[in-house]
Amino acid sequence: MNSEDSLDISQSHITGTMVAYYYICHRKLWLFSKGLNLENVSGNVDVIKGKILHENSFARETNRDIDFDTVKIDFLRFGDQVYVHEVKKSKKFEEAHIWQLKYYIHLLQQKGINCSAGVIHYPSSMRKIDVELKNGDHPLLARALEGIAKITKNPNLPPKKQKKVCSRCAYFDFCYA
Ligand code: SF4
Alpha helices in 34-93 (DSSP H): 38-41, 45-56
Report whether pLDDT(98) > 60.
yes
State percent of the chain over pLDDT 70. Answer: 90
- Exposure string for 15-51, b = 16+ CB within 10 A, e = fewer: bbbbbbbbbbbbbbbbbbbeeeebbeebebeebeebe
Mean pLDDT value of segment 97-123: 96
- Ligand 1, pocket-test mutation among 22, 23, 24, 27, most atoms within 8 A of CB: 27
Report whether pLDDT(153) > 60.
yes
Res 10: pLDDT: 57
Residue with CA closest to ligand 1 atom 3: 160
Report whether pLDDT(4) > 70.
no
Per-residue model confidence as pLDDT tens digits over 23-77 = 999 999 999 999 998 886 656 677 777 778 877 888 888 899 999 888 999 999 9
The CATH architecture that domain 3-176 belongs to is Alpha-Beta Complex (3.90)
Please state the pTM of the whole predicted model: 0.88
Q: How confident is the model at residue 145 (pLDDT cuts 50, 70, 90)?
A: very high
Query: Which of 152, 170, 73, 155 is closest to 119 using CA atoms?
Result: 73
What are residue 118's DSSP bridge partners?
84, 131
Residue with CA closest to ligand 1 atom 5: 28
Residue ranges of domains in the chain = 3-176
- Residue 42 Cβ < 6 Å to ligand 1: no
Report whether pLDDT(8) > 80.
no
- Ligand 1 atom with least separation from CA of 31: 5
- For the ranges 33-47, 53-67, 82-96, 102-116, the lowest mean pLDDT is seen at 33-47
